[in-house]
Structure 1
């Protein structure tokens, strides 16, 4: 059997191998093959391919590659493409150059120096570029190019730049003419590009085997890629013709013309930009699909640089106009325009650097200028409630790194300035207002007149306090609306606003007192013009101001005083309203904050039940009551009342009534002692005058004084000394009582001599001739609702004492739980525990620590003086 791969020769000889047949001879030479191929390529470039045979010319290329003539074919194709493009440049592109040079198109746009240098130098960055230059223009040397520049060749880049520079300071060419000139050039380049791509594609089809066999083996660009590189270096980056500078000037000029408001052919610009994006430059070591494009290397930097110059100048012009809202509206419009421009005819990768450029030149460099712009900046926008403009400012400022911070600083500065005006106005009004409890007699008399003029004895200082809170609430409401409507409830802006409000509110040392007075005003019975729901809404807003207070314990003290007056005088709007307010305070400061306040309400409810029971006991009794009685039994620890009752000698009928109640109370509560505070009570008394009788509501002290005149003849006067001796009322209380009866609107007593002052030498007579159209009326007791400096000092001292106890209690709780703590940790924990009531001062905490060490609650660690140990 014959072995595989062998065959028997005719002579029977075995083992002889057959040689492959010799290749048949070629009908034509390699030179003729190339000439025929070159002719076919020329016909393709001339768009005359109807008579060409694809199979024939494919075979020519196949045979050339097969017979190792690929180098000749590659060089020949490259040279022919270069020659064709050179002819197209001369015949189509160069004639489309503007007659006046690049300046007639650019209108003063100057390209970056790096691009200008590149435009009139050979592309020496790659071996391929040098080869192209050598083959496409063998007669052009570096010396020849230099000579062309020196001779001011109108087609050279240097000449174009010179023309641009010479006309930059002159009159700008007509926009329409520039657009038309630019469109002619862009059309010529686009048509040349499309023609070249079409021809290269057909040539590549003919040389498909060449691409597959030769290109891959020799690691050279394919015919299509070669065509792109030749177009890049022979047309766009031509060392022979300044096409690049003319094209880029045209593109940039058209973009600027569109920015200035004129219409351009966007499709024509897009086709040229797409061409630049398709042309790439090989990056050593990178895959071909990652090579950067001519667009990104050359055009984009030039575009960004000219855009920066354009928008920098435009920003300066608009800022000089001094209208921040219009400036911001223009910036927003420009951002939208450029985003649209990128989406229509630029490349997506340009979007981010272009946006950053706009943000830098329009915003980042001018944040302070925009905010502080006189008459139209942030202050003006806030003053005029320009929510839309504020929203635009917020949106734009959040596009740049420092924008939100600058905006927050501007908000804080505005609030601080307006808050200072509010505080200063209050300070000036307080200084001008008379003191409510000053020793000067005239001040007290003026206050008496004011109290008769205003319901519930609203002194000028009380009115000032209420006005301050109203202005703060209005200011806060305004910024709540701004925060929601303009700043999208941004957390950073909200924090800045709250910090600014907290700062200026606590700058007013009387803020706790003022807020308490405002709440008191809104929780009083008989408040005109507001429903209970409206009052609740006002109080809800007031809690927002309360939240900013540092000294909440000070507020608590004032609130207790005002609540006590409302409850004891029967002026609270309702028990539900009071408890609703306490619920709001409880949410803010915890249950412990309102325990005593709730105890005060409970005392009043218990007193009502007690008086109902007392009334039933009196009815069942055989003994009648000399006069009606209403008693509020108060728990001394809940109420802001001194344990020592003020002195007052009451008439016998009042004493008898009091004894009857004491007997009743003792029968139900063994061991309890009642302390009577007549200064907090009131009475309804029927007084007969010559004209008619009137039912008058007066203070208990006033009733005691009036009863003295029931025992004297008509017209008989009682001296101040007599009244003081018989009633034993303190001078300060007696002065206010006599002023309310003789110096106010309802002058039940006549004072001699007539004056607004009450002196110890004055005498008083019952006014039998008193007349009043009202059957019932109330004579207000003069009592300061706003503290005097002396009272405020005493209140401050009591608050300091309470804080001392609270600080020590907090320290002991912390140390009892932790047993051992460093100094800094103990300070921080103490501040954290007490911050809901007040902001303790660090020196105060240190003093309390030392006091606890002295009293052996704590001791210092023997090994570390900065560490404390709890002593059980």
Structure 2
């Protein structure tokens, strides 16, 4: 076989054309047209879909695609016109049901027709740029049914009426609504938007405009917000049940505009129930609702913030300038803390800790706390009260909470150096009298102050603690040295605290003549101390000491009296005399008049502590008064503590003196800042120097521009700076 030659076969075409039946196209179309009628008449079960598909396939193959397509359009249009009449004829509530039923039928029919004409859909339609069968069916439904002049308006009105009925509390067939709305969406976004959504939003705006007006006239602010919130939630729910998800933003915007944005000002300022009332009455739920709703509209939160800020500033201003409130510094500060706690809680619970509101709260507190120039003094007095006695029996954690709250107020102070001045005085008294609650609490506050203001702010305060510890060691050494010497049993015991000059707020040593018995033991301590330390000087601060005296009254009644050093000097004069005049006491002790009068007041005018008797009897001390040892003094207590009558706050002259000392202390700080700035910048104009000095020093105090100018002039005199020869506003640093 392999040797056999291969033979080529050739298949030739027919020599004559096959003639197609001239009536082929018409006959085939008639078959297909009949099938479409049967499908629409629900008689599709008797059809052979395979045969129908083949017929449609052959028509396209034989170039009769156009006839097939136009026949489909005409047939479908005819059926839809009939369907349209059927829907139009439906009465009342049956209208939507009929429309929904026919829409379902049309979709099923469309699916079958599409299956039959699949070949045409895949080949003829794309090449001739026709609309695909399914889309064609939707377009024809839109044009012949939805846009039928007898159906279009009726459909819209029916849908809007159902929404209105639902808004007024009726129950509607949501499933049917969902189907109809989905039909509009299936027909294309423009159909849904133009035929339903746009009119729906307009009608809704009118509805909520009218309703909000009714509510605002008849409800208080809290009730109104509840109704607005409920309406908003209803619309969101409505969208989820039967509207396009994209409609949610649009319809909520309508509700927000009509019910909230248009009435914001009236709501926040509503008499007896607006924002201020909510703040005053701690209505966290209502405030939270207002915050949530107002946050949804432009300028909503700034509206709340502005009203809250102006209320806070007004309330705070009244708080810090009310003369009645200024009588009790501790109560003054406690009210500030209560106000801060109250609004912190509101911002936390109602305003989701919104930073904008926290900043508004802080700026308001800073504004009004500095309206009262005595705020630094009062805050220090508050700390003094709490660390002296106010927190006994409480845990360390609770102490920390109070100290943290105080630090919050401290941050608002513009004159932190004034607070430091007072705090140093109050701390000194606590430490020297041994009346501090605990060293841990004291040191905790100093750590907080250091964190806030730097180590320079607290270095002297820490030095005070160091002195207290060193004094204990010094006293142990002194006691040991004294125990080796023979001792008189009646000689007084002495405890000395050695304070470093500069660390403590000591005034110029007030003159006071100590009793001879005391002078002897003081001299012994001086000899011991100067013998163990070289190059030091001691001066006695008698105005800061205390003493325990043993006293015997009429009928042999004995008491231990705890008094100040000045009071001791006065009382010991009565060992040798039963009656002394004011002038005699002043001459013998040389205690300054203001201190002497307060001491005598404490000893003669305070009920239960009057170990002296005064003639004439009155609360004030006069220069012609006589004082007697009070033989008839009695007390249930064996140990009687006699405090010095002293104003809790500073008197006006003391306040002026403290202010003067603060101003003096500021001068070198301002000069140092100017020199630092000029050293790095070399040349700078006046305004920029003032701005930079203020920036550098604002953590301690706000320097006065006039004072800065004076310090610059002082530096020019001392040749640290010079003015520019041409531009007098320019300053140069002289190296």
Q: TM-score, length-normalised on structure 2?
A: 0.92
1:562-616: CA deviations, max 9, x gaps? 1122122222223222212211211221111111111112112222221221111
What residue in structure 2 maps to residue 161 of structure 1?
none
Give unmatched runs, 5+ long, in structure 1: 8-16, 99-180, 281-291, 431-460
What residue in structure 2 maps to residue 428 of structure 1?
324
What residue in structure 2 maps to residue 28 of structure 1?
23
Give unmatched runs, 5+ long, in structure 2: none
Q: Aligned pair 1:708/2:604, yes or no? A: no
Distance 1:295 1:862, change over 3 A: farther
Q: Aligned pair 1:723/2:585, yes or no? A: yes
Match of 2:174 among 263, 266, 274: 266
What residue in structure 1 maps to residue 666 of structure 2?
803
Alpha-carbon shift at residue 247 of structure 1 (Å): 0.9
Provide the C-alpha distance between the structure 1 equivalents of 2:472 and 2:532, rounded to a whole number of angstroms: 15
Structure 1 vs Structure 2 CA RMSD: 2.8
State which drifts further: 845-854 or 508-517: 845-854
Aligned residues: 728
Alpha-carbon shift at residue 828 of structure 1 (Å): 4.1
Alpha-carbon shift at residue 235 of structure 1 (Å): 1.0
Q: Are the aligned partners of 1:539 and 1:581 in contact in 2 as well (CA < 8 Å)? A: yes
What residue in structure 1 maps to residue 452 of structure 2?
588
Distance 1:3 1:837, change over 3 A: farther
Q: Are the aligned partners of 1:646 and 1:730 in contact in 2 as well (CA < 8 Å)? A: yes
Q: Aligned pair 1:369/2:364, yes or no? A: no
Provide the C-alpha distance between the structure 2 equivalents of 1:26 and 1:753, rounded to a whole number of angstroms: 148
* SS at 2:324 equivalent: helix
Match of 1:628 among 486, 493, 502: 493
What residue in structure 2 maps to residue 348 of structure 1?
245
Alpha-carbon shift at residue 470 of structure 1 (Å): 1.0
Alpha-carbon shift at residue 765 of structure 1 (Å): 1.8
Q: Aligned pair 1:482/2:346, yes or no? A: yes
What residue in structure 1 maps to residue 134 of structure 2?
224
Alpha-carbon shift at residue 267 of structure 1 (Å): 1.0
Match of 1:293 among 190, 193, 201: 190
Distance 1:4 1:204, change over 3 A: farther
* SS at 1:221 equivalent: coil
Alpha-carbon shift at residue 311 of structure 1 (Å): 2.2
Superposed, which structure 2 residues align to 1:408-419 within 5 Å?
408-419=305-316
Distance 1:407 1:3, change over 3 A: farther
Provide the C-alpha distance between the structure 2 equivalents of 1:574 and 1:70, rounded to a whole number of angstroms: 102
1:306-358: CA deviations, max 9, x gaps? 22222222222332233333333333333332222222211121122222222
Distance 1:18 1:733, change over 3 A: closer
Alpha-carbon shift at residue 529 of structure 1 (Å): 5.8
Q: Are the aligned partners of 1:398 and 1:404 in contact in 2 as well (CA < 8 Å)? A: yes
Alpha-carbon shift at residue 719 of structure 1 (Å): 1.8
Q: Aligned pair 1:208/2:118, yes or no? A: yes
What residue in structure 1 maps to residue 99 of structure 2?
189
Q: Are the aligned partners of 2:40 and 2:79 in contact in 1 as well (CA < 8 Å)? A: yes
Provide the C-alpha distance between the structure 1 equivalents of 2:456 and 2:15, rounded to a whole number of angstroms: 111
Match of 1:44 among 39, 61, 64: 39
Q: Are the aligned partners of 1:465 and 1:518 in contact in 2 as well (CA < 8 Å)? A: yes
State which drifts further: 527-536 or 628-637: 527-536
Provide the C-alpha distance between the structure 1 equivalents of 2:306 and 2:315, rounded to a whole number of angstroms: 14
Provide the C-alpha distance between the structure 1 equivalents of 2:390 and 2:253, rounded to a whole number of angstroms: 62
What residue in structure 2 maps to residue 750 of structure 1?
613
What residue in structure 1 maps to residue 558 of structure 2?
693
* SS at 2:494 equivalent: coil
What residue in structure 2 maps to residue 610 of structure 1?
474
Q: Are the aligned partners of 1:278 and 1:293 in contact in 2 as well (CA < 8 Å)? A: no
1:352-408: CA deviations, max 9, x gaps? 222222222232333333322333332233333232333333333322332222232
State which drifts further: 823-832 or 574-583: 823-832
What residue in structure 2 maps to residue 442 of structure 1?
none
Provide the C-alpha distance between the structure 2 equivalents of 1:778 and 1:631, rounded to a whole number of angstroms: 20
* SS at 2:563 equivalent: strand
Alpha-carbon shift at residue 654 of structure 1 (Å): 2.2
Provide the C-alpha distance between the structure 2 equivalents of 1:352 and 1:5, rounded to a whole number of angstroms: 75
1:292-311: CA deviations, max 9, x gaps? 43102331111211222222
Provide the C-alpha distance between the structure 1 equivalents of 2:597 and 2:251, rounded to a whole number of angstroms: 80
Q: Are the aligned partners of 2:478 and 2:528 in contact in 1 as well (CA < 8 Å)? A: yes
State which drifts further: 697-706 or 325-334: 325-334
Provide the C-alpha distance between the structure 2 equivalents of 1:20 and 1:498, rounded to a whole number of angstroms: 103
Q: Are the aligned partners of 1:650 and 1:727 in contact in 2 as well (CA < 8 Å)? A: yes
Provide the C-alpha distance between the structure 1 equivalents of 2:444 and 2:720, rounded to a whole number of angstroms: 41
Q: Are the aligned partners of 1:322 and 1:373 in contact in 2 as well (CA < 8 Å)? A: no
State which drifts further: 342-351 or 30-39: 30-39
Provide the C-alpha distance between the structure 2 equivalents of 1:703 and 1:520, rounded to a whole number of angstroms: 26
Q: Are the aligned partners of 1:322 and 1:376 in contact in 2 as well (CA < 8 Å)? A: no
Provide the C-alpha distance between the structure 2 equivalents of 1:202 and 1:696, rounded to a whole number of angstroms: 114
1:107-161: CA deviations, max 9, x gaps? xxxxxxxxxxxxxxxxxxxxxxxxxxxxxxxxxxxxxxxxxxxxxxxxxxxxxxx
Alpha-carbon shift at residue 519 of structure 1 (Å): 0.5
What residue in structure 2 maps to residue 234 of structure 1?
144
Q: Aligned pair 1:552/2:448, yes or no? A: no
Provide the C-alpha distance between the structure 2 equivalents of 1:622 and 1:55, rounded to a whole number of angstroms: 136
* SS at 1:777 equivalent: strand
Superposed, which structure 2 residues align to 1:492-531 within 5 Å?
492-525=356-389, 530=394
Provide the C-alpha distance between the structure 1 equivalents of 2:65 and 2:395, rounded to a whole number of angstroms: 100
Match of 2:90 among 88, 96, 100: 96
Distance 1:726 1:841, change over 3 A: closer
Q: Are the aligned partners of 2:288 and 2:350 in contact in 1 as well (CA < 8 Å)? A: yes
Q: Aligned pair 1:848/2:711, yes or no? A: yes
State which drifts further: 852-861 or 211-220: 852-861
Provide the C-alpha distance between the structure 2 equivalents of 1:55 and 1:273, rounded to a whole number of angstroms: 35
What residue in structure 1 maps to residue 598 of structure 2?
736
